[in-house]
Every structure is written in structure tokens, then in C-alpha cells.
């Protein structure tokens, strides 16, 4: 009898010990802070006020991080996920639950911007205007502080975004906007999927060095979409002053062809920096082709479904006169009409400084560049010294 009692006690102790061990192995979610810059404050759950954060500090579940206008910080979650918090953000670490297929991390972003890099499992980001989720890889979530609209980019992985009106799935190189509820009607807008812009790809690289390979792949795809022209287009007066009627296609738009908005004709653009090109919406158009022509008649074209596009003017390193116009295409693939060409000028760009050894970028003499690499103006090692005329001949 005593032996049976002793055996029961031993078995009970073993079960309790095993339970404690499992509890220790499934430790609660936490996040280690690093790469702090600017004003970064944190507050643990139950604390009354925020306090300055320090490197190697640990944020526990329901803890918050708040960054100032110049504040940035990296969080390494105990689940292996990396989260980078941009300036002017308020972030809360909610939970990390074990679900089928891995761990499900839940976080909350009230304002600001975060970049999520998963090592597996999934992540849900709660915002004032809906929920954004990613399974597998890279997602950015940004909350506009004034409108509370949510801007989400999916660099890689399976992403979803939804609000009370509905949800959408999107993936590599796509983005979604979750609009805030209309304060007048109380209605929500169903989200739609659009392609990411080159600037949005660049934003990933500027904030996340881990994204370099994905960024380069995306830029290679964008470059490959440009179709080279066989011959130069003479810069005759007739070519540069053609009216919409003379450049229209099927004539579906007739004399009501749309016009460009900015830059205005004759504009003098800077030699560096981002320049926005915008035009009116053309009725019936599903695609716009923006064409740039230099003084020698060589042209480069960019396709978009939007009524604006932005480029760093450094893509045109040579100074002088340029013209640009936009052609609209309908759903059947036929040309509707084109805007009148608009001219602008820019000064000669400064030569790109030779990279230093600290930059760890090989000089152009040490690199055997392909045409695709030279045409990628963000590939500094190959684009340096590439002449403007060569660019238009080989990359348009």
C-alpha cells in the first residue's frame, strides 16, 4: 500500500515537472530593442508613463514603443521576427500565439510606420482603419496621422488587408490602401490592389538592408519591361508640337483628349531630386504610356495605370532640353489619344563620386556590367559614367 502511494506521488511530481518545463519552453512574447536613433521611448504594460528607451532593453507583451520625429528603432521579437519602427510612430506588442502552421504574432499600430520581416508564421497588424496581415516575409504598414488611411506594401509573401467593407489578398510587389471610414456617410471603401512604385521599392531598401536582394530583383524586372526602340525619332518641330488630334489612335476620345498637369511646359527642373509628372484622367483609359524624348531624338517610355508617376531626375544625367507626352490606351489595347508634348530643361548632372573603400562598392573599372545593370540607374556601380545617349539608345 505504501509502495503504491509512493509511486502515485512520484508520478504526480513528474507530471508537474513536465508541465513546468513546457511552460518555460513556451515563454511569452518579448522584443529586444536595438539600432536606436533619435527620440525613442517605451512603456511596459501597467506603467504610468513613457521613459527613454535604451539599447538592449526588452519590451514585454502589451508594452508600447513611441518614436519622435527623428526616432527609429529595431525590435527583434523572441519569435524571430524583425520589426523596424519609423519616426512619429506608436506601436504596441499584443500577443504571440501558437497556431496551426506556426506562430501568429499580433501587434497594433496607432500611428506612424513599421516594416515587418517574418522568419516564419504570420503577423497581424491592427490599425485604426482595418487589419493588415502577412504570412512568410516582408510587409510595410503606414498610418496617415491626419486621414487615418493605411498604406500597405507587400515586398514579398502572402499579404491580406481588410476593413468592414471587405478584404483583399496581394503578394510580391503589390500594395493596398485601407481608407478610413467616411465621417459623413459612415461607409467604408472596399480595398483594391495596385502595383508598387519604384519609390516604394526604394523605401524598403533605405530602411531594411535585408531587403537588398528583393529590391534588386524588383528593379531588374522594372528595367526589363522597357522596350528598346530600333531607331531614333528626329526632334523636328512637327514631332514636338503635334496636337492630340494628330497623335490620337482610334479616335475614341476625339477632341476631348486629356492634357498634362505638371511639370508645365518650359519648366526648368533641378539637376537632382524627385520630380512628379502628372496628367488628367482620360475617359476609357486603362493604361498610360509616358514617353520622354531627348535633344537627339532618342526616347524612353514608362507604363503605368495611374495618372501620375515620379522619377529621380538623375535618370537623365545630361543637361539640355527634353520633351514628354502621355498616350492613353483602352481595355482593347488600342490607343485612344496622346497629350501634346511638353518641354522641360535641366542642367548637367554632377558626376557620381567614386565610391570609397568604406562604401564597399567596387569601382566601374572593376565591374563587368551587363546592359541590364547599366540601365538600372539605382545600380550605382554600373550606372556611374554611363552616357545619356547610351542610356536612351540601349535602355529606352
Q: What is the pLDDT of residue 293?
A: 84
Q: Tell which residue, 137, 122, 124, 309, has the closest CA to residue 208.
A: 137
Q: Does domain 28-216 have CATH number 3.30.950.10?
A: no
Selection from 113-117, 218-222, 316-320, 375-379 with the highest mean pLDDT: 113-117
**Would you say the CATH fold of 225-396 matches that of 28-216?**
no
- 263 upstream amide cis, omega within 30 of 0: yes
Q: What is the DSSP string of 124-143?
A: EEEETTEEEEEEEEEEEEEE
Q: Determine what percent of the chain is predicted with pLDDT higher than 90.
A: 29
> Average pLDDT for residues 193-197, to the nearest whole number?
89
Burial label, 33 (beta-carbon count in 10 A; 0-12, 13-18, 19+): buried
Domain regions of the chain by residue span: 28-216, 225-396
Position 61 pLDDT exceeds 80: yes
Q: Cα separations (Å) of 79 from 28, 109, 168?
A: 10, 19, 26
Q: Return the higher-pLDDT residue of 206 and 355.
A: 206
Task: Say if residue 41's pLDDT is above 90.
Answer: yes
Model pLDDT for residues 237-252, shown as the tens digit of each residue: 222 223 333 333 333 3
Q: Express each pLDDT in 285-321 by its tens digit.
A: 999 998 888 877 777 777 889 998 877 776 666 678 8
Is the whole model's pTM more than 0.85, yes or no?
Answer: no
- pLDDT of 162 reads 92
What is residue 28's predicted lDDT score, i.e. its pLDDT? 65
Q: How far apart are CA 352 and CA 360, in angstroms?
A: 15
- DSSP assignment of 160-186 equals EEEETTEEEEE-TTEEEEEPPPPTTT-
Superfamily of domain 225-396: Immunoglobulins (2.60.40.10)
Res 86: pLDDT: 94
154 burial level (CB within 10 Å; 0-12, 13-18, 19+): buried
Sequence-separated (6 or more) residues with CB below 8 Å from residue 140: 113, 114, 115, 116, 151, 152, 153, 155, 203, 204
Amino acid at each position: 500500500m505504501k509502495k503504491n502511494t509512493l509511486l502515485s506521488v512520484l508520478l504526480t511530481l513528474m507530471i508537474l515537472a513536465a508541465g513546468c518545463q513546457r511552460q518555460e519552453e513556451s515563454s511569452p512574447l518579448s522584443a529586444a530593442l536595438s539600432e536606436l536613433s533619435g527620440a525613442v521611448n517605451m512603456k511596459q504594460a501597467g506603467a504610468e508613463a513613457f521613459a527613454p528607451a535604451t539599447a538592449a532593453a526588452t519590451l514585454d507583451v502589451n508594452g508600447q514603443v513611441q518614436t519622435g520625429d527623428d526616432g527609429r528603432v529595431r525590435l527583434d521579437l523572441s519569435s524571430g521576427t524583425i520589426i523596424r519602427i519609423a519616426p512619429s510612430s506608436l506601436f504596441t506588442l499584443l500577443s504571440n500565439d501558437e497556431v496551426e502552421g506556426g506562430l501568429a504574432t499580433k501587434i497594433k499600430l496607432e500611428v506612424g510606420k513599421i516594416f515587418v520581416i517574418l522568419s516564419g508564421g504570420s503577423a497581424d497588424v491592427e490599425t485604426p482603419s482595418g487589419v493588415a496581415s502577412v504570412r512568410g516575409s516582408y510587409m510595410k504598414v503606414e498610418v496617415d496621422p491626419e486621414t487615418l488611411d493605411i498604406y500597405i506594401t507587400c515586398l514579398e509573401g502572402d499579404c491580406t488587408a481588410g476593413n468592414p467593407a471587405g478584404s483583399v489578398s496581394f503578394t510580391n510587389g503589390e500594395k493596398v490602401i485601407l481608407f478610413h471610414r467616411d465621417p459623413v456617410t459612415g461607409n467604408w471603401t472596399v480595398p483594391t490592389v495596385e502595383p508598387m512604385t519604384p519609390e516604394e521599392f526604394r523605401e524598403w531598401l533605405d530602411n531594411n538592408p535585408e531587403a537588398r536582394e528583393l529590391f534588386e530583383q524588383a528593379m531588374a524586372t522594372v528595367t526589363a519591361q522597357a522596350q528598346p526602340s530600333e531607331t531614333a525619332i528626329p526632334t523636328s518641330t512637327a514631332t514636338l508640337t503635334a496636337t492630340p488630334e494628330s497623335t490620337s489612335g482610334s479616335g475614341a476620345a476625339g477632341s476631348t483628349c486629356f492634357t498634362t498637369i505638371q511639370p508645365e511646359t518650359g519648366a526648368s527642373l533641378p539637376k537632382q531630386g524627385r520630380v512628379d509628372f502628372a496628367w488628367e484622367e482620360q475617359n476609357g483609359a486603362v493604361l498610360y504610356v509616358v514617353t520622354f524624348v531627348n535633344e537627339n531624338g532618342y526616347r524612353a517610355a514608362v507604363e503605368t495605370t495611374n495618372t501620375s508617376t515620379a522619377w529621380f531626375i538623375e535618370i537623365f544625367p545630361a543637361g539640355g532640353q527634353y520633351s514628354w507626352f502621355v498616350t492613353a490606351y483602352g481595355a482593347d489595347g488600342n490607343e485612344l489619344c496622346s497629350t501634346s508634348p511638353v518641354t522641360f530643361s535641366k542642367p548637367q548632372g554632377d558626376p557620381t563620386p567614386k565610391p570609397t573603400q568604406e562604401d564597399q562598392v567596387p569601382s566601374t573599372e572593376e565591374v563587368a556590367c551587363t546592359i541590364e545593370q547599366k540601365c538600372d540607374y539605382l545600380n550605382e556601380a554600373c550606372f556611374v559614367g554611363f552616357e545619356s545617349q547610351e542610356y536612351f539608345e540601349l535602355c529606352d
